Amino acid sequence: MKQKNYPFRAIESRWQKFWEEEKLMYMDESSPKPKYYCLMMFPYPSAALHVGHGRNYIIGDVVARYKLMRGYNVLAPMGWDAFGLPAENAAIRENIHPAVSTREHIRKMKEQLNQWGVLYDWSRELATCEPDYYKWTQWIFLKLHEKGLAYKKLAPVNWCPSCSTTLANEEVVDGKCERCDTLVVQKDLEQWFFKITAYAERLLRDLELLKDWPERVKIMQANWIGRSEGVEIDFRLEGNDEVLPCFTTRPDTIYGVTYMVLAPEHPLVERLAPEEKKEEIRRFVEKSRKENLASRTHLEEEKEGVFIGSYVINPVNGERIPLWIANYALMGYGTGAVMAVPAHDQRDFEFAKKYNLPVKIVIQNPEKTLTLDSLEAAYVEEGVQVGSGPFDGLPNREAIEKIAGYLEEKGVGRKRITYRLRDWLISRQRYWGAPIPIIYCSDCGTVPVPEDDLPVRLPEKVDFRPQGRSPLAGVPEFVDTSCPRCSRPARREMDTIAQWLCSCWYYLRYLSPRDEDRPFDTDLVNRWLPVDQYIGGVEHAILHLLYSRFITKVLYDLGYVGFQEPFQRLFTQGMIVKDGAKMSKSKGNVVSPDKLIAKYGADTVRLYTLFIGPPEKDAEWDDRAVEGAWRFLNRVWRLIEEFKVQSSKFKVEDKNKDKKLSNLDSRRLTDLRRKTHQTIKKVTEDVEGKFHFNTAIAAIMELVNEMSSLSGSEESGLPVMREALETVVLLLAPFVPHLSEELWEKLGYQGSIFLHSWPGYDEEALKIEEMIVAVQVNGKVRHRITVAAGISEEELKKETLTNDRIKELTAGKEIKKVIIVPGKLVNIVVTG
RNA sequence: GCCAGAGUGGCGGAAUAGGCAUACGCGGCGGUCUCAAAAACCGUUGAGGGUAACCUCAUGUGGGUUCAAUUCCCACCUCUGGCACCA
């Protein structure tokens, strides 16, 4: 007989059409079923998707379809993160208007999603570049502005020379632009910021609420926020009453301060320098500004500095402390001033050695006495206070508290908490983004655009190629406007909003995507959020997820939403790599799903993608291994074809399984029934728990293997066979939906399998009559015996010790101990 | 440097409230079908030894706890990711 492959092409197109017509995945607002919001991170429409991207959508689709079968009212929407640099750069490269290329990319990607059999409620589709969406992104900007959380200031900011725009701190990776790897430089620019630092504490604290987030994502966010407790100490400037505050986490080392360092950008530098030093200092400041961020913030970089020429006074002992500026002090952290304790800080130590500054030991090592001559590195371990006046003899851990208290009492310091987190730079000098809704009037100053005037539309006819200033500056119809307050001529803000803000709130918009009167419906949103399951790549651990949490908290404070965290559960899937590397066009290792789908169908690609390994881990793609998934699906197909032939031969119409099952005589059938129910249990647990689809699929394969070996059985076995087959099809449904629908129909059912409920298992069927127990001698498995399932420990012991083979193995030896592990093994400990 | 996570057959990976290591799949080998090949199907497959029953060795390395360790403890090595002059 010629083996025929199953006709996946016809099956897949048939069911894709059916699902869309039946609106299978369209959420029904009036449904009484419990809600389930299953959200996948929406993509940038910049290029065609590869199999690595597919993993995200396939996992999400499995979860959505599974929840559908579990009787939930599922919301699984999809949209497009369409604004921002990737879309704009692609547009520049292809020399097509971003609006056109974006639309084209969306069309292509949507087609791919459809081919994968991934379902969404397309009636809720949105794109962040549409005016009816970005109108509300602008509205959020205005709300933050109203609250004093959006401000403009002149500051040294990250500038990417290649992208010709400023970047947020979070977009600078290793001193390079996250997008194009160009070295980022510092520039002084007037830019818009969001005061995310005002939420630092809450963003950190509320991580504890996120019980179902991966631990590593929470750790990454906590590190990024970088809370540290310390003291801000006032150092008086010598010769006047001005005070220079300085943050430290080590007040216990205050007696060891031998110099002080200011960041080159520190505003006091210019003023404090005496006339004869000004030139030298100006040159140093210039030089360190030119250094890019990458080298300014790396340990390996040589520390350099210049003595300013003035002094400050140590508040605890009145010592005169020289003031320096150095490249290793950062303006953005603490107060931009560092009290230097070379004996107990490695950076200060290196700097002091280089410039011959004094070193003073104030924490003594209790193990091995430190001396100035032998000190080769800063001593940063714990120890005992020395040379610290009234605090001598205290363990330094205690001294931290004591000295902090002492400084507060004296009024020269206060406990403070600082964060590594900086305010979020939100303006971009690019075209493809939402215009910042601000107008500058020479009389009224900075005026927000009134809500009624939103959206501030992005003009279409613009030369959007990067030229170092905002492309919108070249569009007078856009820039020239009138002041909303006094109606006199005014100018619009020409920068656009960073794309990250657009993706900070899209999950709220999905509930009422066409609402023209408000960004989202508070009632609806409170009913549907937090998102039950968010699925996406770990690369967004900080940027997108931190920003979204921030915006949600702001909206909560403003009373627009009733929850403080947007995403209840988060799942971050691993990357799919090829030849050990991330798929990329430049490496030429991109696996396109199109060819594979044409050859094997979407179900095979889905099954392999899920089977490749645990979904939270990276996995290596192997084209050959796809065959395995393909072979398996064909086997399932054939099994059902054969079953149909067989059952028609016996003319079994009986659907009453229980009656048939009660007089089963064949042991193999009992075993199959047990396997069936074991598989239901296993698959359900794997899907409910950690999304371990790989082991769930392996379990189904085992069941199918057992059925194959049982082919050609007698008539009485048909109901058991039928139950097993139906189970296989139901359990496979979320993974391989097209084939499952088709087989479900072949088994005689009408309507979508996803409207049928997920199978439950029968505890009775799981029971076993006898089991195989491993017998160990001194911890090594030597034999196996078959015993009744309900056997007592005593009986099992007896049974084991009287067994001929065991007697042989223990002959001439003294049995010291017998260890019984119920249901698993017996270990006989012998001597000799 | 610091913080996570991970090291298991030729390969992807199973199994950790300690209890039969290598499930499932890929690849390999042998067979069936075929003039032949491919596909498909069936069997076999950790390494070494033995005619065989069986034996020995194997979960990154070295120790430890235990009747029993991939799983727990200590030290180290390697890889991946994040952070990295944050005072």
Q: Which domains does chain A have, with CATH numbers?
A: 31-135+502-611 (3.40.50.620), 227-419 (3.90.740.10), 619-766 (1.10.730.10), 770-831 (3.10.20.590)
Closest nucleotide (CA of A817 to C1')? Answer: B67
Comparing every residue's Cα with the C1' atom of nucleotide B33, the nearest one is A1
CA of A778 to C1' of B63 (A): 22
Predicted confidence (pLDDT) at residue A144 exceeds the cutoff of 60: yes
Q: Using alpha carbons, list the distances in angstroms from residue A361 to A37, A342, A372, A373.
A: 59, 8, 7, 11
How many Å from the CA of A701 to C1' of B16?
24
With contact defined as beta carbons under 8 Å apart, do A577 and A583 qualify?
Answer: yes
| pLDDT, mean of residues A269-286 | 85
pLDDT, position A776: 86
Q: Does the pLDDT of residue A645 top 80, yes or no?
A: no
* Alpha helix segments (H runs only) across A489-561: 499-502, 506-509, 522-528, 543-557
Q: What is the mean pLDDT of chain A?
A: 88
Arithmetic mean of pLDDT, A788-810: 81
**pLDDT bucket at A1, cuts 50 / 70 / 90:** very low
Nucleotide nearest to A541 (CA to C1'): B82
Nearest DNA or RNA nucleotide to A613 (CA to C1'): B13
Q: Beta-carbon neighbour count of residue A71 at 10 Å? A: 13
Q: What are the backbone angles phi and psi of residue A483, rounded to the nearest 5°? A: -70, 130
Q: For helices A737-746 and A626-650, give the axis angle rounded to 10 degrees.
A: 10
State pLDDT tens for residues A329-388.
888 888 999 999 999 998 899 899 999 999 999 999 888 888 888 888 888 888 899 999
Q: Report percent pLDDT > 70 for chain A.
A: 95
Per-residue confidence (pLDDT) for residue A583, from 0 to 100: 81
Q: How many Å does it take to go from CA A685 to C1' B66?
A: 32
Q: Which nucleotide is nearest to A175 (CA to C1')?
A: B84
Q: Look at residue A659 in the predicted model and tell me its pLDDT.
A: 47
Q: Which residue is nearest to nucleotide B34 (CA to C1')?
A: A2
**Whole-angstrom distance, CA of residue A124 vs CA of residue A772:** 56
Q: Which positions on chain B have an atom < 7 Å from some protein CB?
A: 3-5, 11-15, 19-21, 23-27, 39-43, 54-56, 67-69, 80-87
CA of A3, C1' of B37: distance in angstroms: 17
Radius of gyration in angstroms for the set of CA atoms belonging to chain A, rounded to a whole number: 35
Nearest nt (C1') from A216 Cα: B4
User: What 3-state class would DSSP assign to A791?
Assistant: coil
A223, closest nucleotide (Cα–C1'): B83
**Nearest protein residue to the C1' atom of B4, measured from CA:** A216
Per-residue confidence (pLDDT) for residue A548, from 0 to 100: 96
CA–C1' A617–B78 (A):
19
Mean pLDDT along residues A247-267:
92
Query: Taking the C1' atom of B25, which residue's CA lies nearest?
Result: A628
Q: Please report, rounded to a whole number, the percentage of residues in chain A having pLDDT higher than 90.
A: 57
What pLDDT score does A652 carry?
47
Residue nearest to nucleotide B13 (CA to C1'): A613
Tens of pLDDT, residues A169-208 = 878 887 778 777 888 887 888 899 999 999 999 999 999 9
pLDDT at A96 over 90: no
Alpha-carbon dihedral angle through residues A449, A450, A454, A457, given to the nearest 10 degrees: -20
What's the CA A387/C1' B87 distance, rounded, in angstroms? 21
CB-based burial label for A588 (10 Å; 0-12, 13-18, 19+):
exposed
Q: Could you identify the residue whose CA is nearest to the C1' atom of nucleotide B24?
A: A698
Token pair listed for A428: 């971009």
Kindly state the helix (H) or strand (E) to which residue A505 belongs, with its residue range. none
Nucleotide with smallest C1' distance to residue A709 CA: B42
Q: Which residue is nearest to nucleotide B26 (CA to C1')?
A: A625
Q: In whole angstroms, give the CA distance from residue A524 to residue A527.
A: 5
In Å, what is the separation between the CA of A216 and the C1' of B81? Answer: 10
Q: What is the pLDDT of residues A513-549, one digit of tens each?
A: 999 999 999 999 999 999 999 999 888 888 899 999 9
Per-residue pLDDT tens for A64-91?
999 999 999 999 999 999 998 777 877 7
Nucleotide nearest A293, from its CA to each C1':
B85
Q: Which nucleotide is nearest to A625 (CA to C1')?
A: B26
Mark A243-282 as b/e (b = at least 16 C-beta within 10 Å).
ebbbbbebbbbbbbbbbbbbbbbbebbeebbeeeeeeebe
Estimate in Å the CA A95 to C1' B59 gap, whole number. Answer: 55
Q: Could you count the other beta carbons within 10 Å of the beta carbon of residue A729?
A: 26
Q: Looking at residue A663, what is its pLDDT?
A: 46
d(CA A562, CA A520): 13
**pLDDT digit string (tens) for A540-587?**
888 899 999 999 999 999 999 999 999 999 999 998 888 777 787 777
Instruction: Measure the CA–CA gap between A694 and A683, rounded to whole angstroms.
Output: 10
**Would you say residue A34 has pLDDT above 60?**
yes
Residue A141 binned pLDDT confidence (cut-offs 50, 70, 90): very high
Q: Is the pLDDT of residue A250 over 50?
A: yes
3-class secondary-structure state, position A183:
strand
pLDDT digits (tens, 9 = 90+) for A745-785: 999 999 999 999 999 998 888 888 878 888 888 888 888 88
What burial class does residue A668 get, using C-beta atoms within 10 Å of its C-beta: 0-12 exposed, 13-18 middle, 19+ buried? Answer: middle
Closest C1' nucleotide to A327's CA: B85
Residues 6 or more apart from A52 whose CB is under 8 A from it? A575, A576, A577, A582, A583, A591, A621
| Distance from residue A576's CA to nucleotide B9's C1', rounded to whole Å | 23
pLDDT band at A2 (very low <50, low <70, confident <90, very high): very low
State which residue has its Cα closest to the C1' atom of B84.
Answer: A298
| CA–C1' A704–B36 (A) | 33
* Among A666, A642, A650, A771, residue whose Cα is nearest residue A715: A650
Q: Which nucleotide is nearest to A420 (CA to C1')?
A: B86
pLDDT given for residue A631 in this prediction: 93
A698 nearest nt, CA–C1': B24
Model confidence over A282-317: pLDDT tens digits? 888 888 776 655 555 555 567 888 998 889 999 999
Contact predicate A218/A207, CB 8 Å: yes
Q: What is the distance between the alpha carbons of residues A425 and A191, in angstroms, rounded to a whole number? A: 7
Residue A828: which nucleotide is closest by CA–C1'? B67
pLDDT of residue A714: 62
Nearest nucleotide from residue A705 CA, by C1' atom: B24
- The DSSP H or E segment spanning A229 is strand A227-237
Tell me, in Å, how far CA of A499 is from C1' of B29? 57
Residue nearest to nucleotide B83 (CA to C1'): A223
B68 nearest neighbour residue (CA to C1') = A779
CA→C1' distance for A461 and B61 (Å): 66
Give the tens place of pLDDT for each residue, A124-133: 999 999 999 9
Question: Are the beta carbons of A470 and A430 closer than 8 angstroms?
Answer: yes
Tell me, in Å, how far CA of A213 is from C1' of B31? 52
Length of chain A as a residue count: 832
pLDDT value for A73: 97
Residue A28: closest CA among A79, A61, A73: A73
CA of A55 to C1' of B46 (A): 32
Q: Measure Cα distances from A129 to A79, A134, A390 in Å.
A: 11, 6, 65
**pLDDT tens, A410-423?**
999 999 999 999 89
Residue nearest to nucleotide B6 (CA to C1'): A617
Task: Give CA–CA dist A344/A347, Å, rounded.
Answer: 9
Sign of CA dihedral A240, A242, A246, A250: positive
The ipTM estimated for the assembled molecules is 0.94
Compute the distance between CA of residue A62 and CA of residue A39 in angstroms, rounded to an integer. Answer: 12
The CA–C1' separation of A681 and B70, in angstroms, is: 25
User: Is the pLDDT assigned to residue A477 strictly greater than 90?
Assistant: yes
* DSSP H or E run through A346: helix A346-355
Tokens 């009913």 belong to: A527
What's the CA–C1' distance between A751 and B61, in Å? 59
Gap from A495 CA to B51 C1', in Å?
86
Provide, in whole angstroms, the distance separating residue A780's CA from nucleotide B53's C1'.
18
Q: Which residue is nearest to nucleotide B18 (CA to C1')?
A: A821
